Amino acid sequence: EVQLVESGGGLVQPGGSLRLSCAASGFTFNTYVMSWVRQAPGKGLEWVSSMSGSGDTPYYADSVKGRFTISRDNSKNTLFLQMNSLRAEDTAIYYCARKKSSREYCFDSWGQGTLVTVSS
Amino acid sequence: EIVLTQSPGTLSLSPGERATLSCRASQSVSGSYLVWYQQKPGQAPRLLVYGTSSRATGIPDRFSGSGSGTDFTLTISRLEPEDFAVYYCQQYGSSYTFGQGTKLEIK
């Protein structure tokens, strides 16, 4: 069974930093592109970032480019999101999600999410 | 960036009825990359349909997807109580974008 478990969320002041983690199990982690998708309170979904299976090719939404860094440790089956220069509009539940396959550009497994609140 | 607009914003129907949800793109989307998710309160989204019309694993056949170009539809043939939720469409062009969602509520 595929499991994705996020952690690291919390309350942070504007301009601060936070590092999210996503522990994966139940599949061959290094063969899948992994992503972060966020959802502001009461709002829709927004793709944030993706990382190739090998960990050498990151992708970012324009809204986070230059502030967020995605990475992965395939030896520990873990995905990370380093978030710097946080803004109030970054407040959201952050989901870790698995890209379905090399041909299918969608997310077939999701974690339960971790809440990030940016507020003074 | 391709913008997806879903309609209606809220759909009020009764169990047993047929639901038709629309997703319109600001420019043509490859049918291979149009996707639908279901999200219930307090839960993560769940993949329903990918590649416009392929049901994900474990999704009942009352859910069907169709469309091409800029107009796509998710149809639920006979609503079950557990189908009342928010539905999102998503596309992939140079990046992923989602529609704003359609809330399907019990009438």
Q: Which residues 2-41 of chain A have a CB within 8 Å of chain B?
A: 35, 37
Q: Give the chain B residue whose CA is nearest to the CA of A59.
A: B95
pLDDT value for B31: 78
At A22-64, the pLDDT tens digits run: 999 999 999 999 999 999 999 999 999 999 999 999 999 999 9
pLDDT at B30 over 90: no
- Give the integer Cα–Cα distance in Å for B19 and B58: 20
Min Cα separation A42/chain B (Å): 10
Residue partners of B62: CB distance under 8 A and separation at least 6: B76, B77, B78, B80, B83
pLDDT value for B24: 98
> Which among B44, B56, B98 has CB closest to A46?
B98
> Which among A100, A103, A112 has CB closest to B44?
A112
Min Cα separation B35/chain A (Å): 7
Q: Give the chain A residue whose CA is nearest to the CA of B44.
A: A112
Place of tokens 């359609």: B102
Range of lowest pLDDT (A48-52, A74-78, A98-102, B30-34)? B30-34
Kindly state the average pLDDT of the residues B52-74: 97
Q: How many CB pairs under 8 A join A and B?
A: 54
Min Cα separation B30/chain A (Å): 11
| Mean of per-residue pLDDT scores for chain A | 97
Kindly state the average pLDDT of the residues A14-23: 98
A61 and chain B in contact, CB less than 8 A: yes
pLDDT value for B102: 98
At A30 the three-state DSSP class reads helix
Work out the burial of residue B53: count CB atoms within 10 Å of its CB; fewer than 13 is exposed, 13-18 middle, 19 or more buried: middle
A46 and chain B in contact, CB less than 8 A: yes
- pLDDT class of A86 with cuts at 50, 70, 90: very high
- pLDDT class of B32 with cuts at 50, 70, 90: confident
pLDDT at B94 over 90: no
